[in-house]
Structure 1
Amino acid sequence: MEVGSVRKRRDNQNGIIGHEGVGVSCPPPPTTTTKQPPEKATALQDDVGLLSGICLIVGTMIGSGIFISPKAVLVYSGAVGPCLLVWAACGVLATLGALCYAELGTMIAKSGGEYPYLMEAFGSIMAYLYSWTTVMVLKPSSFAIISLSFAEYASAPFYPGCSPPKLVTKSLSAAAIFLIVLVNCFSVKLANYVQNVFTAAKLLIIVMIVGAGIVLLIQGNTQNLSNAFEGSAASFGAIGLAFYNGLWAYDGWNQLNFITEELKDPYRNLPLAILIGIPLVSVCYVLVNISYFTVMSATELLQSPAVAVTFGDRVFYPLSWMVPLFVVFSTFGSANGSCFTAGRLTYVAGREGHMIKILSYISVRYYTPAPALLFNGLMAICYIIPSDINTLINYFSFAQWVFYGLTALALIVMRVTRKELHRPVKVPIVVAVLVVVISCYLVLAPIIEKPEWEYLYCASFIFSGLLVYYLFIHHKFSWANKIMTPITMHLQLLMEVVPPEKLQ
């Protein structure tokens, strides 16, 4: 049901919601001549500054991966030297990809990440397949996994000597999801404040690990870094898998493009936040890995269940408890960033008619995409129910690089088809070509190295979105509208949300 301006009174005949509450007529306008403050349009507000943008990138990229288990990169790269090179190369690739996104984000200043770029370059179907895959699987399941990591580390001190019960970790994970969604629904500024605080916390523990590593290097603990390339004999496909796992830890470099409409001065702050945030994370990742090797050999690192915890036990004792505590902070901040950006993609997809309309509505009280945030949270809670969803995420992650490659290809296509668009940031075309080529390699290498039926299941799910698109979006069956209209009306009244509007 389409609803008009929030400043109008609710009328039972036309279904318009009033500003003062659902189902209650607004009081008459004041008769005094007191000047009233200007009223905000019911739209996303540009409340995210440069510092918050940097914190969103850094806070979302640095999750639990760098603290818990970077050993997958070591397994596939084969030796310490190639392992460190892969970590550095992943940072370079993430920066190149983000530079392509900086051009796209300043050229098409719309929220929703890859969605508006794929829509502009390739049309509605490609954009829909992206939103279908990301909204239904990638974003909520990633949110769920980060929350489960948070729950495992938060509950571990209460169960010394054994693993916490599944019911406890799942319940705590669901509580974390609920709290994070609540914070993001209430206030963009509050969500940014939470992100900034937890980003500072995770950077503090990284500084501590890097600082300890530098001291150990000065003291001569370099035996694990000598002959760093000895025994390295990784195959073509194995190197691809090493990059695959490294880039999973870097995932989040594109998060600022999901909230372009909420950035203050996006033409300046978007590229600047990218050029500060991603190299900062890259340097941190390489230095942290070097620090690990100052106290652990390659064999010891591979045997460690949680690398940062083992490092803390050997270096920070008796203050080693700080490492798991800061991992909790890190995962909570990363989950908050994931929720913040996922809600914007769902909101934009609903606004474009690729998801149900209620998901594109804005809270009249808090100016946040509350329905989209709640939907993402509910989906994430569904994903924490199975015993192990890590396998599911691993097989769907290759789809993410399909869309990364397509987005870089969109930049190349629009250099030809949309020459008239203003480009405040313009990267060399060779950068976009390189990202496309590497994306193809990263998609195909894991399948060639270790073909699994699950990749076929994943592709089948993605293309099943075409059936949904054909039935409900292309043809727009009238019976679907008859069902959704009363549901939309009641949800709208319950959540006090309205369609986004623009100031005239």
Structure 2
Amino acid sequence: MADHFPQQAKQASETDKLLPHDSFSGSAFGTKCLGSKGLSYAQSYKDGRDGVAQCGGSRGDFSQTKRQLGLFSAVFLIFNCIIGTGIYATPSIILRSSGSVGIALLTWIVGALLASTGIAVYIELGTGLPRSGGEKNYLEFMYRRPRFLITCIFAVYILLMRSQAANSIVFGEYVVHSLSITPSRYNTRAVAFLCLTFCLLIHGVTPTVGLRLQNTLGLSKLVILFAIATFGMFCLTRVPGFSVDESYEMPDNFTWSKFWEGSGTTGVNAFATGLFNVLWSFEGYTRVNQVLSEVRDPVRTIQRAAPLAMLLVTTAYISVNVAYFAVVAKADMLGSGTIVAALFFRNLFGATAEKAVSIIIAISMLGNLLAGIFSGGRVIQELGREGVLPHSSFFASNEPYNGPLAGLFTQYLFSCILMLAPPPGDAYLVLVSSSMYSISMINTLVSFGLLLLHTPLYREWKWSPPFRAPKFVIIIFFLSNVFLVTVPFIPPVPGSRTYKHLPYWAHVAVPRRTSLEHVWCRWLASLIARAKRTLRYPYTTPTIICSICVGDHMSISSVMMSRLMLNLHAATDLGLYSTYIPRAAPDEMTDSSSSQPCRTVELDTLWTADLERSHPGPGPGPRISDPDSRILHDLGVPHPPPSPAPPRTAS
């Protein structure tokens, strides 16, 4: 990628001389794009420098009006991403899992508190690394070894697991239903295809209009939710004109005996399932972190926008649930196959009002789709700017409409493929559930990495963001995501199979295979075994792991990785194990007008090159040629000098 920007590469080479070995100062692929001499990756943003705008695409791609998102737009970006169909359909699922109205409302409150811990975690990360990309930047910063592996995995994740296929199909189903047409596979997918095309064009060709429409839909959803809450309160307080029709069962959910009736009858497994669904109803609060390069005053804005959006969402969720219980009887909610919102409008305004629910949910899903495509396209653009994707300059560009049209089209293309290709049934359900599960895996890695940054082991990384989440909050968020990762392994109760022809854990297999956790485990095990064989001192396994992970001046992992990863046969499964690096070394690129083509180099070559740069040979200190001796030298362990060669004898 540095071929396209030789001036930045020259600055990076100068920065390299000032930074300690293994400092993370920009791209995960060694392209240091910050242009801030002597500053670390996080510190370079303290003075307002935006590495993204300085190292991606061409210089003409970044207009002065690029930072277009203010507080209002940031709030409704989060609000749009969170509010989908969950609040209209899941309350009956939560009630069935909880057993009583009281436990159901408590479950929603617990879910809101857990989501708030996630908000705190991502505010800290966003203020520490205020650039577009979101989780990509955080994972690169935290998990630097094996080099490039986490970035390649995230690229696969964002392309396959974060598609908008499922949301577009839901939009198509409700639009078709609102037109009094029987939904089928073909008409729902036709509407979904048109919706995706509309989102692509409005965000890619007219970004300003797309942003305004997105904000308008977010405001409309907020008004609709608070209107539902108001109607429910009117019914609860016996306001004339807002009473349940006599032909339907009268609710009695708020008397003390009825409020807790059924508590403790569903079991721990059912409660875990209910909490699982509540947490997913709050998913989407990380999207503003993915577009921070387009947010005005990002550090200040994210600290205000994220809590405000979460406050609006939590208030709306709790108020709407109270309204549902005020209008719909518990037995009707559990026994009917209709979504709760439809029962609400039917009980208050008659059967003809049920169609209004389809229109409301379609509006909600359109806002969700616009926000998802808006943020997802920017993440793909960041992957292009980092050199992860082929033809990086194409994906990094903002031309011709001053927006990431290439990134938006890539997400549109994958969403259309995943929408049209899988047949209905198990394959489609696995696709949707895999996307949800992969988000939990990413959040688990992010929260665990942030916990490590709060430990003394990582003090040399100088992690000092303007906002720091309390450590107990990070621990709670980490444990909640561990819960989400492990719950799918719990067998469902008899008679409630998730899939007809697949095991209940099928949706777990796809993201876990994509994460290549077996490569991580074998890599770490090989490093530990090699270190124990090489080092002549009784270092324990935790000590070696800390040496590998901390990544300070010790080259233990650099040496071992360059040799041992060649023996990890599982690593060859990655088709993404290559990247673009300059034809010439960074310090040789002095002509800012030159633009040389890139070539693809296998990662083992890059590891070996890094090793040679770390040990350049003659200079201060002895030249160390044997890799095992290099380990001992870098660790400061005394080791015997190499034995002199035996004298030659005359033949």
Shorter-chain TM-score range: 0.7 to 0.9
Tell me the secondary structure at the aligned position of residue 384 of structure 1: helix
Q: Distance in 1 between matches of 2:577 and 2:166?
A: 34
Q: Which residue of 2 aligns with 1:109?
A: 130
Q: Contact 2:448–2:478 (CA<8 Å) still a contact in 1?
A: yes
Q: Distance in 1 between matches of 2:338 and 2:152?
A: 37
Q: Which residue of 1 aligns with 2:590?
A: none
Of 396-405 and 270-279, more deviation after overlay is shown by 396-405
Q: Which residue of 2 aligns with 1:177?
A: 196
Structure 1 residues 129, 446: closer, same or farther in 2, change over 3 A?
farther
The AA in structure 2 aligned to 1:228 is F
Q: Which residue of 1 aligns with 2:513?
A: 460
Within the candidate set 212, 223, 234, 2:252 is matched to 223
May I ask how many residue pairs the two structures share in their alignment? 444
Deviation per CA, 1:302-334, whole angstroms, max 9, x where unpaired?
324222122112213465543322221111001
- 1:328 counterpart = 2:342: no
Within the candidate set 94, 97, 105, 2:115 is matched to 94
Q: Which residue of 2 aligns with 1:243?
A: 275
The AA in structure 2 aligned to 1:98 is I
Structure 1 residues 181, 477: closer, same or farther in 2, change over 3 A?
closer
Q: Which has the higher contact order (CA 8 A, sep 6+)?
A: 1
Tell me the secondary structure at the aligned position of residue 69 of structure 2: coil
The AA in structure 1 aligned to 2:342 is V
Q: Tell me the CA shift for residue 471 of structure 1.
A: 5.3
Q: Tell me the CA shift for residue 470 of structure 1.
A: 7.0
Q: Distance in 1 between matches of 2:514 and 2:386?
A: 22
Structure 1 residues 166, 465: closer, same or farther in 2, change over 3 A?
farther
Tell me the secondary structure at the aligned position of residue 363 of structure 1: coil
Q: Distance in 2 between matches of 1:354 and 1:468?
A: 17
Scaled by the length of structure 1, what TM-score is found?
0.81
Q: Contact 1:128–1:469 (CA<8 Å) still a contact in 2?
A: no
Q: Which residue of 1 aligns with 2:346?
A: 313
The AA in structure 2 aligned to 1:352 is E
Gaps of 5+ in 1: 6-38, 479-484, 487-504
Q: Contact 1:84–1:289 (CA<8 Å) still a contact in 2?
A: yes
Q: Tell me the CA shift for residue 150 of structure 1.
A: 1.2
Q: Distance in 2 between matches of 1:267 and 1:453?
A: 40
Q: Tell me the CA shift for residue 238 of structure 1.
A: 2.5
Structure 1 residues 225, 355: closer, same or farther in 2, change over 3 A?
farther
Q: Distance in 1 between matches of 2:515 and 2:378?
A: 21
Q: Which residue of 2 aligns with 1:447?
A: 489
Q: Contact 2:171–2:365 (CA<8 Å) still a contact in 1?
A: yes
Within the candidate set 384, 391, 414, 1:350 is matched to 384
Q: Distance in 1 between matches of 2:68 and 2:580?
A: 39
Tell me the secondary structure at the aligned position of residue 47 of structure 1: coil
RMSD: 2.8
Q: Distance in 2 between matches of 1:69 and 1:435?
A: 22
The 5 A counterparts of 1:111-260 are: 111-123=132-144, 124-125=147-148, 127-128=150-151, 130-140=153-163, 143-159=164-180, 163-219=182-238, 223-226=252-255, 227-232=258-263, 233-260=265-292
The AA in structure 2 aligned to 1:192 is L
Q: Distance in 1 between matches of 2:90 and 2:480?
A: 24
Scaled by the length of structure 2, what TM-score is found?
0.63
Structure 1 residues 426, 334: closer, same or farther in 2, change over 3 A?
same
Q: Distance in 2 between matches of 1:156 and 1:321?
A: 8
Q: Tell me the CA shift for residue 198 of structure 1.
A: 0.6
Within the candidate set 92, 99, 114, 1:71 is matched to 92
Q: Distance in 2 between matches of 1:85 and 1:434?
A: 17
The AA in structure 2 aligned to 1:139 is R
Q: Tell me the CA shift for residue 446 of structure 1.
A: 2.6
Q: Tell me the CA shift for residue 74 of structure 1.
A: 2.1
Q: Contact 1:131–1:346 (CA<8 Å) still a contact in 2?
A: no
Q: Which residue of 2 aligns with 1:490?
A: none
Q: Contact 2:161–2:434 (CA<8 Å) still a contact in 1?
A: no
Q: Distance in 2 between matches of 1:240 and 1:129?
A: 33
Q: Which residue of 1 aligns with 2:372?
A: 338
Q: Distance in 1 between matches of 2:354 and 2:186?
A: 27
Tell me the secondary structure at the aligned position of residue 376 of structure 2: helix
Of 74-83 and 287-296, more deviation after overlay is shown by 74-83
- 1:394 counterpart = 2:433: yes
Structure 1 residues 225, 447: closer, same or farther in 2, change over 3 A?
farther
Structure 1 residues 43, 239: closer, same or farther in 2, change over 3 A?
farther
Gaps of 5+ in 2: 7-57, 244-249, 493-502, 520-569, 582-596, 599-651
Q: Tell me the CA shift for residue 253 of structure 1.
A: 1.1
Q: Tell me the CA shift for residue 3 of structure 1.
A: 5.2
- 1:435 counterpart = 2:435: no
The higher radius of gyration belongs to 2
Structure 1 residues 449, 298: closer, same or farther in 2, change over 3 A?
farther
Tell me the secondary structure at the aligned position of residue 354 of structure 1: coil
Q: Distance in 2 between matches of 1:246 and 1:130?
A: 28
Q: Distance in 2 between matches of 1:240 and 1:205?
A: 30
Percent identity over paired residues:
24
Q: Distance in 2 between matches of 1:263 and 1:476?
A: 29
Of 78-87 and 449-458, more deviation after overlay is shown by 449-458
